[in-house]
Structure 1
Amino acid sequence: MRKAIYTIFAIFLLSFSFKSIASAEISDIRVSGESRFETAVEISKAAFTESETVILSTAYNFPDALAGGSLAYKEDAPILLSAKDSLGKATKEEILRLQAKKAIILGSEGVVSEKVVKELNYIGVSVERIGGKDRFTTATMVAQKLDNPNTAIIAYGRNFPDALAVAPYAAKNGFPILLVEKDEIPKSTKEYLKNIENTIVVGGTSIISPKVMSELPDPERIYGVDRFQTNAKIIEKLQMDSFSSYISTGYNFADALTGSVLAAKNNAAMLLVKSNELPAPIHYVLNEKKFSEAIPLGGRAVVTDSVVQEITDLILNNSMETALPISADNTYTSHLISSKDADYYKLNVEKPGKMSFSMARNKTSDWYLHVYNSEGERLGYTEIDTGDGVHTFNLGLSKGMYYLKFEDSTGYNDYSNISERYTFDIDFDSVNTFEQEVNDSLSQATVIKTDTLVEGQLNLKSNSDIDYYKFNLSSPGKVELEFNQNKTSDWFVTVYDTKGNEIGYKEIESGSGAYHLDFGLNTGDHYIKVTDDTGYDDYDDSNDTYTFKLNYEKSDRFEKEINGTMETASTVKMDGNDYTGTIQGHTSKSDNDYYEFVLPEAGNVNVDFSRSGNADWNVYFYNSDGIEVGFYELESGTDSRYLMMGMPAGTLYMRVTDDTGYDDTEDYYEPYTFSATYEKSAFFEKEINNKHYQSTPLVFNQEYKGAIQSYTHSSADVDYYKLDVPANGTITIKMNREEYDDFKYTLYNEDLSRVTYGSVESGFSQYSREIVLEKGTYYLALADETGYDDYYDSFETYTFQVDFAQY
């Protein structure tokens, strides 16, 4: 019943299916010679550049040679053909080309005589003969040369088609091909089978009986109604993972025999055909199984172009819809059949990771490789130029289906690579440390972890590639972006907060070290963008791999970007412990780092700012109304600067920026360090007190501290104190002299008329002066005294008090 159904289906295919296919061009790749000897030589040339060993079989009879494919594959040797008493010119020249040192002859002297042995010896080739009293014994002797397999192929010993159809599979897996009679297992075969656990029987009951089947270890039968259907069944059962195929006549053993090693080396199936007709079973299996290519073995007399055309039409993979499935960790070979041809392959990625493509360069041919996602969006491409060595291309992919497209690269001084075969390897590493395309926007960003090395590359696309990465911080801290330099490539790196606001930017120039970019960041998601930096005397760095690592240190002692305004200022604990910040570079503006100091009551804030040996900063202070109350240019050095601010209760803001001036450089990503302390007291000046109406009220007989700040504007700081003299009497101004600082004071009455003034020069003693005053309100203004051989005493502190005695 099954046979009848199959026959009807075959007639249906022949009547209708063939007519619906639009013919494509076919390539001129054909492995053939003028004779079976020369075809065997051409097959050898296609598979081997050299070989220490050759397998030699008679050209005119099949029995001894049937089992030779597995041995040839094991020895990495071609199968060549010989006449009984002569090697023949073509075979001899091929042995010399291969520089072979040894020949293994299959069969007795009755099929390959001692004359051939002497001929081999004469050209420096030693000989080993494997031949028994009959074909069954010879097959067993060949099997004994293999590496103790647990599976054997069982074939009919009186004909060749089934054995040849399965030969590439047997060779690839190291399985011997053992021969049997229809109703009997020969003694030598039976003896060998004692060490075999499984058998695969090729052929139906008309050539291998159920009786023989019952005597085999754990047998499985693969068969069809004829040699072609058996061939198709072998492919369906055993070779659906084969990538390419070879076409051979099903009516002669020589081409398929010598081609079995070539097919095995390329993980290919053997398609047996009629000389001028594609058998229906082979047509059927080609509807189910696509091969990358189908290369005919032998001349057009044994496999016509019309048959090759039919097979080519069935296996076309020139679109995403007809793409040929491939998998990782495999090698694939094919060729373009015409100047307009493109080969498509599809790769199913089950886990995110890195796809690594490698392809041996060819000295005469070039190709383009394009990679697309399932939506047809090109993720990247690369040109495989002519030359030596191996071309590599990496691409990070997320889970999904992807398509690889090969096409001819024919450009200036180039030519078409049609019929030039290409071979490529696909490896896939399921890691989450390589970028995953498409990641061209914040919403598509590749998720990465801190303290892990990340790899990526900017791929060639229709537009410039952009790589985005996303990382999350569960606690505030410092993130050091350690971006490794490349000796030939340059990149731009930009960091963003969770809303896409730019935090920092840096050009990574070529070199051999690494850039270390520090960011103090808050909790939440943050993003990194990598783009190509192609500028003057530079070139496109596409397809060059870059690596970076995010070193994370959990701490609340770093600035928290974005802190570029008072509203986003990082809060500072005034406990004397260090804080660290960094002025980042930006694409369009300068970075500003704001900090806030919250004073629950009036008092003094002292900021200890550590200087750097090679960086300069500007430090600004503002009150809660945003009015500047101090400025300091922190030049490079090795010591610290103490910046004191007497303030009322409320919030004091500090802003740090880069100071880039004459003979200076931008100090981007140079970290700065400061600490802050707070001393609660009513007896400090309270900025802003630059005018009489802003005066700090003064209590007599009480020591006060203050500091003369500098400003970005031209006017210098003046500290006003208000004195309410209760009665006529004498005030005494007492002020500690400072070692390097000079101050001046002016006393005004309530009408702001100057009453007196004086200077307090640097020194070590205490300054004291008595002034007689009438009852009333007065204002004491303290300022910096900058004179000859002196310098600006910015943020230099002073200590003084005013005593009162009534008279």
Structure 2
Amino acid sequence: MTSSTPSTQRRRTRAAAVTLLAAVAVAGLGATSASAATGVKFDQRTGGATRVETAVESSKALYPNGGSDDVVLVNLSRTVDGLSASYLAGLKSAPILYTDTDAAPPATRDEIKRLGAKRVWLVGGTSVISKDQETAIAGDYTVKRFGGDDRYATAAAVATAGEFAPERVYITSGTSLADAVTVGPQAWANGTPILLTEAGRVPDATKGALDQLGVSYRTVVGGKAVVSDDTYKALGANSRLAGDDRQSTAVAVAEDSVATANFTYAGAALVGGANVNAVDALSASALAGYYGVPILYTWTPDDIGAPTANYLKKHAVDITGPGFIFGGKSAVSDKAAQQATDAAQ
């Protein structure tokens, strides 16, 4: 019996998975890094016609044979209330699925049954996931809710849910969905909570959570337009991951995740960069976190954009796979997938 925390055990499991996958790629494509990179394709699409179906497909990819005792539910249209869900899902080694306010869609209910889940964790207050739905779920599963009066209080409730003190905390804008979900895989994999802030002030719930967590390694995700310098100082932050746009911010997060969060350049997860598509990155966080690969955004459904292309070109020699795509072709087209493949080669 070791004294490892759940997050440490997850890191070891993920590292073994990445090492094995990379070794298989190299064995099949040649011994050198350059020849390994030559065969990389962004062709592992996990997507459906809706965000609900994309989340289900991500769950199936993570647990193809079922066997997850836990599932985390987030409101499909009030996703900002679930921005912190990746941390909770990581604590439970669970997938993230989407529900509606009053009832879960059939695809979500079917996936919970397929997984053989025993416990369902709700992220959001009763205005986001109703009390009636909680009662209905409790008829078949053990249910626990993490929610507050607003998104900041909900994030604080989730962040303070762990049994072990975290080594780091991410703090992101409560209004910038795309910036927040880029750190989802890292939060899932490494037991790193996500707190939310306003641009010009620190909400009381966030202050309280930071005091309770007592963590000194505080990283702001997003530029000064979404988290001002004064707010950065008030948070007691000591690093910022940001770029000129959401693509560049995602690249900054990707570089940091390899440098500090035990992630790898071997693979990447491509997600549509539009607001309507960025929610796919939240449900993608479990699978991407398991493999230790960062999330990158496209510029449009048909164009991966310069920041993403430059990242893939820069690290092409190290990229052996997997090349994930999260979302349907209306979010990330085959053309964009080919651009990513070309850049990675």
What is the TM-score when the length of structure 1 is the normalising length? 0.35
User: How big is the shift at 1:275?
Assistant: 1.2
Residue from 296, 300, 311 that aligns with 1:285: 311
| Match of residue 498 from structure 1 | none
Rate the CA distance shift 1:24–1:313 in 2: closer, same or farther, 3 A.
Answer: farther
User: How big is the shift at 1:26?
Assistant: 4.8
Residue from 117, 132, 146 that aligns with 1:115: 132
| Match of residue 128 from structure 1 | 144
User: How big is the shift at 1:221?
Assistant: 1.0
Residue from 285, 299, 310 that aligns with 1:260: 285
1:750-765 equivalence runs, <5 A: none
Asked if 1 retains the 8 angstrom alpha-carbon contact of 2:42 and 2:323, the reply is: no
What is the percent sequence identity of the aligned residues? Answer: 32
- The 3-state SS of whatever aligns with 2:45 is coil
2:273 is the alignment partner of 1:250: yes
| Match of residue 155 from structure 1 | 172
User: How big is the shift at 1:298?
Assistant: 1.0
User: How big is the shift at 1:171?
Assistant: 2.1
- The 3-state SS of whatever aligns with 2:182 is helix
CA distance in 1, matches of 2:201, 2:42: 46
CA distance in 1, matches of 2:218, 2:39: 41
2:52 is the alignment partner of 1:37: yes
**CA deviations over 1:246-304 (Å, ceiling 9, x no partner):** 11112233211000011111111111112111111111111222432321111101100
2:109 is the alignment partner of 1:104: no
* Letter matched to residue 270 of structure 1: I
CA distance in 2, matches of 1:167, 1:125: 26
| Match of residue 154 from structure 2 | 138
CA distance in 2, matches of 1:238, 1:154: 15
Asked if 2 retains the 8 angstrom alpha-carbon contact of 1:196 and 1:217, the reply is: no
* Letter matched to residue 141 of structure 1: A
Asked if 2 retains the 8 angstrom alpha-carbon contact of 1:255 and 1:297, the reply is: yes
Rate the CA distance shift 1:121–1:216 in 2: closer, same or farther, 3 A.
Answer: closer
- The 3-state SS of whatever aligns with 1:76 is coil
2:245 is the alignment partner of 1:217: no
Structure 2: gaps spanning 5 or more residues: 1-37
CA distance in 2, matches of 1:134, 1:213: 21
Q: Which structure features the higher share of strand residues?
A: 1
User: How big is the shift at 1:193?
Assistant: 1.5
Q: Once structures 1 and 2 are overlaid, which stretch shifts more, 241-250 or 254-263?
A: 241-250
Asked if 2 retains the 8 angstrom alpha-carbon contact of 1:53 and 1:102, the reply is: yes
CA distance in 2, matches of 1:133, 1:72: 21
Residue from 300, 309, 316 that aligns with 2:338: 309
CA distance in 1, matches of 2:210, 2:39: 48
Q: Which structure features the higher share of helix residues?
A: 2
1:41-56 equivalence runs, <5 A: 41-48=56-63, 49-56=66-73
Asked if 2 retains the 8 angstrom alpha-carbon contact of 1:62 and 1:253, the reply is: no
**CA deviations over 1:153-179 (Å, ceiling 9, x no partner):** 010001211111121122222111110
2:263 is the alignment partner of 1:231: no
| Match of residue 294 from structure 1 | 323
Asked if 2 retains the 8 angstrom alpha-carbon contact of 1:33 and 1:39, the reply is: yes
**CA deviations over 1:19-51 (Å, ceiling 9, x no partner):** xxxx98957531112221111111000002221
Asked if 1 retains the 8 angstrom alpha-carbon contact of 2:171 and 2:196, the reply is: yes
- The 3-state SS of whatever aligns with 2:271 is strand
- The 3-state SS of whatever aligns with 1:30 is strand
CA distance in 2, matches of 1:170, 1:94: 23
Rate the CA distance shift 1:207–1:28 in 2: closer, same or farther, 3 A.
Answer: closer
CA distance in 2, matches of 1:253, 1:103: 24
User: How big is the shift at 1:99?
Assistant: 0.9
- The 3-state SS of whatever aligns with 1:215 is helix
User: How big is the shift at 1:235?
Assistant: 1.3
Rate the CA distance shift 1:255–1:311 in 2: closer, same or farther, 3 A.
Answer: same
1:214-613 equivalence runs, <5 A: 214-239=233-258, 241-242=263-264, 243-251=266-274, 252-273=277-298, 274-290=300-316, 291=319, 292-316=321-345
* Structure number, greater radius of gyration: 1
Q: Which has the higher contact order (CA 8 A, sep 6+)?
A: 2
Asked if 1 retains the 8 angstrom alpha-carbon contact of 2:40 and 2:323, the reply is: no
* Letter matched to residue 111 of structure 2: E
Tell me the number of residue pairs that the alignment of Structure 1 and Structure 2 aligns: 293
| Match of residue 22 from structure 2 | none
CA distance in 2, matches of 1:206, 1:267: 29
* Letter matched to residue 188 of structure 2: A
- The 3-state SS of whatever aligns with 1:257 is helix
* Letter matched to residue 296 of structure 1: I
Asked if 1 retains the 8 angstrom alpha-carbon contact of 2:121 and 2:146, the reply is: yes
RMSD, aligned CA: 1.7
Asked if 2 retains the 8 angstrom alpha-carbon contact of 1:244 and 1:293, the reply is: yes
Residue from 175, 181, 185 that aligns with 1:164: 181
Asked if 1 retains the 8 angstrom alpha-carbon contact of 2:220 and 2:241, the reply is: yes
Structure 1: gaps spanning 5 or more residues: 1-22, 317-807
Rate the CA distance shift 1:27–1:271 in 2: closer, same or farther, 3 A.
Answer: closer
- The 3-state SS of whatever aligns with 2:101 is coil
What is the TM-score when the length of structure 2 is the normalising length? 0.81
